[in-house]
Amino acid sequence: EPEVTQTPSHQVTQMGQEVILRCVPISNHLYFYWYRQILGQKVEFLVSFYNNEISEKSEIFDDQFSVERPDGSNFTLKIRSTKLEDSAMYFCASSPRASVPIGYTFGSGTRLTVV
């Protein structure tokens, strides 16, 4: 079964450092997303990406965050200057056409720990 892969599975970084989280969505999917989940809390929407541009972003997705699809397969989330409160599990997801009301496929996540 096709899957979304994320690397690394766990990243520890010092406050103020830049991190790049990587994702390989399912190959024939068109829409890509980043979500985050702070430990013990709900899954929160960060950003959606389609046709090489952001289609929506949340209030969490401020100027410190950016996304990129540098080639035909990878989808990255960059945090420019990490803060302690950025510590969370970050999930990448992809979906096919918007008209298809099936679920996203989520990756296994990257646990980001900012120290």
Residues that bind another protein (CB under 8 A): 30-31, 33, 37, 39, 42-45, 48-51, 53-56, 89, 91, 95, 98, 101-109, 111
Residue number with CB closer to another protein (46 or 80): 46
**How many Å apart are CA 83 and CA 114, to the nearest integer?**
7
DSSP string, 10-54: EEEE-TT--EEEEEE--TT--EEEEEEE-TTS--EEEEEEETTEE
Cβ 27 to another protein shortest distance, Å: 17
Cβ 63 to another protein shortest distance, Å: 19
Residue number with CB closer to another protein (31 or 65): 31
Residue number with CB closer to another protein (43 or 115): 43
For residue 95, the Cα-to-chain-centroid distance in whole angstroms is 13
